[in-house]
Structure 1
Amino acid sequence: MKYKHVFSICAYKDSPYLERCIRSLKGQTWSSHIIICTSTPSRYIDELAWRYGIKVFVRHGESSIKDDWNFAYAAADGELVTIAHQDDMYHKDYVKELMAAYRRYPDMTVFTTDYGIVKNGRLLIGNKMLWVKRLLRMPLRIPALNNRTWVKKSVFMLGNPICCPATSYQKLKLGEPLIQCDYSFALDWDNMLRLAGEPGRFICVERPLLFYRVHDEATTKACIRDNRRALEEEAMFRRLWPAFMARWLMRFYRAAYHAYD
């Protein structure tokens, strides 16, 4: 691998938030290689890439989350890869914490952090959903346990507490492709559950090192509107629990959707 760590930004159309994302990656205390990957090339993306000295990789074909993420992952020539979402921003210490974890635990296959939600330009404070997710991630903060398959899988039994843009993958150990399912929303949950079954350690740094932006054009909100999110999340629960438990868990899981209203 040419680089120790690569941020691979998934750019879709002309997001007004893309430059903020780029600036947060350029402002890291530990410098990483940065690329932009897109299936919707445009002058806007090219101009931003030129301004910040970033190479653009174009995927030809219809846009899809699975194919776009796999392309961004494959294009990153790094031992560690973070698929950055164009709307989000990273704390300046994200890579510093990532590299510290990698040095301490070379068997680390997945690294993730806590995150904050940005809505209408403001950081949401005291969000109950985030506190629940921190509780679910607790086993990943215990070095004696976070390399055990049953512990890693247990984290995902009550939902997906990991925010995908806050997550980095050790490409050296995991190989390609990264995503191997056909979901359009729950693909990150399915993928994390699959990776939990592979050898390697899951590390969680419980600091909010990603700022996840919620807005009307976000994919998450679109998946809520057309019911894809609910259908796919219930399908995931049915894989893990009996049908009656899956329905019961979805009653509580749907309550978290209001964070995107």
Structure 2
Amino acid sequence: MNKFSHVFAVCAYKESPYLADCLQALKDQSAPAQILIATSTPNAYINKMAEKFEVPVFVSGRESGIGRDWNFALSCAEADFVTIAHQDDIYLRDYLQSIEEYNRLAKDPILFFTDYGELRNQKEVYDNRLLQVKRKINAFLKPRIFWHSRFMRNRTLSVGNAICCPSVCIHKSKFPDFRFDETMTCDLDWDAWSRLAKEKGSFVYIPRPLMLHRIHEGSETTNQLEEGKRFAEDLEMFRRYWPRPLAKMIMKKYATSTDSNKISG
């Protein structure tokens, strides 16, 4: 069996106070981790963190943007599998080891994704309404027999995006030309999974919380919700799966779930 080849590509933006925690968590993985930093906003702080944790920094020559930054991070990683790590988030100790273990079980994996918790006001949260809903949706992909089912993964994606983006490990060598849609600002991850769901291979769900997604006032998710950017793209995504009237009905119900991303939630 070939050696499992994986890179954590950390997207660093400006001067996040949480970057050190993210890098430390990656260094503390129970399996040896290869790590890089990718940024479109180079600065002394990022260089200092890179030096402290002994990881290379790759600088994009393009203007900052979520899709552009993710695509750049993906392009920097020379490995079969890539996790685009978000600078504010924490990866639990067994994240990488679990990906390796499930890779041995999976048939032709497209991507892996895990259950997750949240970090709110420095507290770990593993149970709230949003997490409960996502686990119920993802439960349909929990049985190994359904990993390879295009029908099942498309049905789960048709009712919303229950896949936590920073938990995803993409099989880059299987899709070397894969790119996130840079015209989207909110649902580019949902769009990506929707496109990959049509491909032959496995969507592998690991039903263990293996990372913590930080919810805070400066997070891009929170900003998107407050500015109302997400809703037009949500409707566009639902219309891929449902007739317009039904898409609007599902959209209204789906919109209430985003309340869990508010700081006071």
Please classify the TM superposition score into its range, dividing by the shorter chain length: over 0.9
Q: What residue identity is the alignment partner of 1:132?
A: V
SS, match of residue 259 in structure 1: helix
Q: Specify the alignment match of 1:65 in structure 2.
A: 66
Deviation of the 1:2 alpha carbon? 9.9
Kept after mapping to 2: 8 A contact 1:181/1:191: no
Q: Specify the alignment match of 1:230 in structure 2.
A: 231
Q: Specify the alignment match of 1:103 in structure 2.
A: 104
Map 1:123-134; keep pairs closer than 5 Å: 123-134=124-135
SS, match of residue 165 in structure 1: helix
Deviations, residues 229-255 of structure 1 (Å, cap 9, x unaligned):
111111111222122222211222121
Q: What residue identity is the alignment partner of 1:149?
A: R
Kept after mapping to 2: 8 A contact 1:11/1:36: yes
Deviation of the 1:3 alpha carbon? 7.2
User: Which piece of structure 1 moves more, 112-121 or 36-45?
Assistant: 112-121
Q: Distance between the aligned counterparts of 2:37 and 2:3, measured in 1?
A: 17
Kept after mapping to 1: 8 A contact 2:117/2:127: no
Q: Distance between the aligned counterparts of 2:226 and 2:104, measured in 1?
A: 42
- Structure 2 gap ranges (5+): none
Structure 1 residue ranges, 4+ long, deviating more than 6 angstroms after superposition? none
Deviation of the 1:181 alpha carbon? 5.5
Q: Distance between the aligned counterparts of 2:30 and 2:76, measured in 1?
A: 24
Q: Distance between the aligned counterparts of 1:259 and 1:57, measured in 2?
A: 34
Deviation of the 1:138 alpha carbon? 1.8
User: Which piece of structure 1 moves more, 138-147 or 223-232?
Assistant: 138-147
Kept after mapping to 2: 8 A contact 1:39/1:61: yes
Deviation of the 1:142 alpha carbon? 1.7
Deviation of the 1:178 alpha carbon? 2.8
CA 125–145 in structure 1, closer or farther in 2 if over 3 Å, else same: closer
Q: Specify the alignment match of 1:32 in structure 2.
A: 33
Deviation of the 1:55 alpha carbon? 0.1
Q: Distance between the aligned counterparts of 1:54 and 1:77, measured in 2?
A: 14
SS, match of residue 118 in structure 1: strand
Q: Distance between the aligned counterparts of 2:39 and 2:256, measured in 1?
A: 33
Deviations, residues 142-193 of structure 1 (Å, cap 9, x unaligned):
2222112112211101000000100001111111233146211000001001
Q: Specify the alignment match of 1:14 in structure 2.
A: 15
Q: What residue identity is the alignment partner of 1:185?
A: C
Q: Distance between the aligned counterparts of 1:125 and 1:101, measured in 2?
A: 22
Q: Distance between the aligned counterparts of 2:81 and 2:90, measured in 1?
A: 19
User: Which piece of structure 1 moves more, 143-152 or 72-81?
Assistant: 143-152
Q: Distance between the aligned counterparts of 1:132 and 1:233, measured in 2?
A: 17
Deviation of the 1:20 alpha carbon? 0.3
Q: Distance between the aligned counterparts of 2:182 and 2:55, measured in 1?
A: 30
User: Which piece of structure 1 moves more, 221-230 or 139-148?
Assistant: 139-148
Map 1:106-117; keep pairs closer than 5 Å: 106-117=107-118
Q: Specify the alignment match of 1:170 in structure 2.
A: 171
Q: What residue identity is the alignment partner of 2:66?
A: I
Deviation of the 1:125 alpha carbon? 4.5
Kept after mapping to 1: 8 A contact 2:235/2:251: yes
Map 1:196-215; keep pairs closer than 5 Å: 196-215=197-216
Q: Distance between the aligned counterparts of 2:65 and 2:261, measured in 1?
A: 21
Q: Distance between the aligned counterparts of 2:136 and 2:52, measured in 1?
A: 41
Kept after mapping to 2: 8 A contact 1:74/1:176: no
Map 1:131-210; keep pairs closer than 5 Å: 131-180=132-181, 182-210=183-211
Deviation of the 1:128 alpha carbon? 1.4
Kept after mapping to 1: 8 A contact 2:116/2:210: yes
Q: Distance between the aligned counterparts of 2:252 and 2:105, measured in 1?
A: 40
SS, match of residue 73 in structure 2: helix
Note the aligned Cα RMSD (angstroms).
1.5
Q: Specify the alignment match of 1:217 in structure 2.
A: 218
CA 125–138 in structure 1, closer or farther in 2 if over 3 Å, else same: closer
Q: What residue identity is the alignment partner of 1:147?
A: H
Count of matched residue pairs: 261
Q: Specify the alignment match of 2:43 in structure 1.
A: 42
- Structure 1 gap ranges (5+): none
